[in-house]
Amino acid sequence: MKAPNHRPTAWTAEDIKRVGYQVIDLIAEHLTGLPHEPVFRPVPADLAEQFLSASAPVGGLDPEHILVEFRETIAPYPFGNGHPRFWGWVNSPPVMMGIFANALAAAMNPSCAGGNHAAIYVERQVVNWFKEILGFPTESMGLLVSGGSMASLTALAVARHAKAGFDVRQHGLQGPERKLVLYLSGEGHGCLRKAAELLGLGSENIQTIEVDKHFRLRVDNLAVQIEADLIAGHRPFAVAASAGTVNTGAIDPLREIGEVCRRYGLWLHIDGAYGAPAILTQHYRDELAAMAFADSVAVDPHKWLSIPVEAGLVLVKDAQAMRDAFSLVPPYLRTDGSLTGVGGLPWFSEYGFQQTRGFRALKVWMALKHYGTNGYTQMLEDHIELARYLHDRVTATPDLEVMAPVGLSIVCFRYAPAVLQGTGERLDAVNKALLERLQLGGQVFLSSTVLRGAFVLRVCILNYQTQRADLDFLVDLVLREGAEVLREQTC
């Protein structure tokens, strides 16, 4: 049989509905089926091999055929984050309105570089909502990016431009200028280091500040280090603080850090990729209100707000500095906010690195409209309470040991029965083996981290379907599998 020779042409409304309804069926089947499937199962080796060895399709296939392939070879092997017992890293399930919005955004398929079309106003509105939520002034600027990494990179690029003391865009960081120094805590996210390296600051010019026993940046050490760097002739320029570290959910003392930044004229960037939305909750409202002191904030709607990836957001207080850091349009050619012309408001592409930009804002916009900040507040508070519940269960269980204060929705603990007390390496080995067993077992999914040299199991609750019973199940399973690992390793 001759392979059909498809080429892009307009579909009739009937065709769109016929295939589209099949897609909707697949989405419904996938999402409602997830809780009954293993949280995670690796892609079988032969299937992985097929994926890696197939050459580019020459003849076209019918949509039905392609959807069957999706159903059989792709849908059964998800990352895991749609499952109510997935608590790895910082990954949430997608909310339904976000899924639909993705399809609608693709149907419109605008470039959000700029212009006078609806998508631009949707993005402006979303950015405005986040200014309001995070306490940023209306005249600040922001945009949607791929995620927290790109949000922090964008913010630090503005900081570098604003604080270098010379024209970094023209001269680069090649000359004999004073070294620009960036300050992070030891618990700061890796993307901050990546960003500093990419911006040409050099990893040796990142000062890693010690954390206190709650894993928060030590402000006293920060001030001492800044003084030392000034005396050494360097140019301290920015602090990147965390509003919710990825390891333990620790929130740096933002207010105090803000004061130090003000005293020394440093840029304060806050990485709120995970934690910033918690400002909506009663538990964290006051502590996170200090985000308003920052010069820039990174937030990840695709983390705790359950927007389908990718959706990161950066806010910068000094809109002019943001534009100056990125715009390649000479000032006399910039569009300046005509709401009636073709150009429209100043283009987003002047405020960040991307030129053609997707309509990311629609999924954030639809989800926020659907749940409202009230709906999100309830969900976040549920997660915070679930984390505290798990913490209490772990504390009350003799063979388990809590390894960090609960921060936001993260609990770090380990399996530590009496026979293993004081055996650092054995404890690590047992917990590593236990983690692998849990992950491959498909009943729960956690990740791990290392805290003060100890290997720990880490639970990050971001799923609106997770219940207390799931956490009870986890505690029982850890005890059972832990005992099993211990037996195996003792034999």
Nearer to ligand PLP (CB atom), residue 229 or residue 271: 271
Kindly give, in sequence order, each residue whose CB lies less than 8 Å from that of residue 381, ignoring residues fewer than 6 positions away.
281, 282, 283
CB of 271 to ligand PLP, least distance (A): 5
Residue choice 159, 268, 273, 457 for contact with ligand PLP (CB under 6 A): 273
Rounded distance between C-alpha atoms, residue 3 and residue 276, angstroms: 52
CB of 243 to ligand PLP, least distance (A): 8
Rounded distance between C-alpha atoms, residue 396 and residue 117, angstroms: 57
> H or E segment at 435?
helix 424-441
Site residues for ligand PLP, window 282-311 (CB under 6 A)? 300, 303
The Cβ-side half-sphere exposure at 308, using a 13 Å CA radius, reads 16
The Cβ-side half-sphere exposure at 96, using a 13 Å CA radius, reads 9
Count of positions on this chain that bind ligand PLP (CB under 6 A): 14
CB of 190 to ligand PLP, least distance (A): 8
Residue choice 93, 277, 312, 352 for contact with ligand PLP (CB under 6 A): 312
Residue 330 backbone phi and psi in degrees, to 5: -60, 145
Rounded distance between C-alpha atoms, residue 64 and residue 47, angstroms: 20
Site residues for ligand PLP, window 123-162 (CB under 6 A)? 147-149
Residue choice 191, 222, 240, 457 for contact with ligand PLP (CB under 6 A): 191
Site residues for ligand PLP, window 240-269 (CB under 6 A)? 244, 246
Nearer to ligand PLP (CB atom), residue 98 or residue 244: 244
Residue choice 187, 229, 252, 271 for contact with ligand PLP (CB under 6 A): 271
Helix or strand or coil: residue 330? coil
Dihedral Cα 112, 116, 118, 123, nearest 10 deg: 50
Query: What would the two tokens of residue 346 be?
Result: 């100043």
Nearer to ligand PLP (CB atom), residue 312 or residue 344: 312
CB of 312 to ligand PLP, least distance (A): 5
Nearer to ligand PLP (CB atom), residue 90 or residue 222: 90
**Residue 216 interacting with ligand PLP (CB under 6 A):** no
Site residues for ligand PLP, window 75-134 (CB under 6 A)? 90
For Cα atoms 264, 252, 394, give the angle at the middle one, nearest 5 degrees: 165
Binding site for ligand PLP (CB under 6 A): 90, 147-149, 189, 191, 244, 246, 271, 273-274, 300, 303, 312
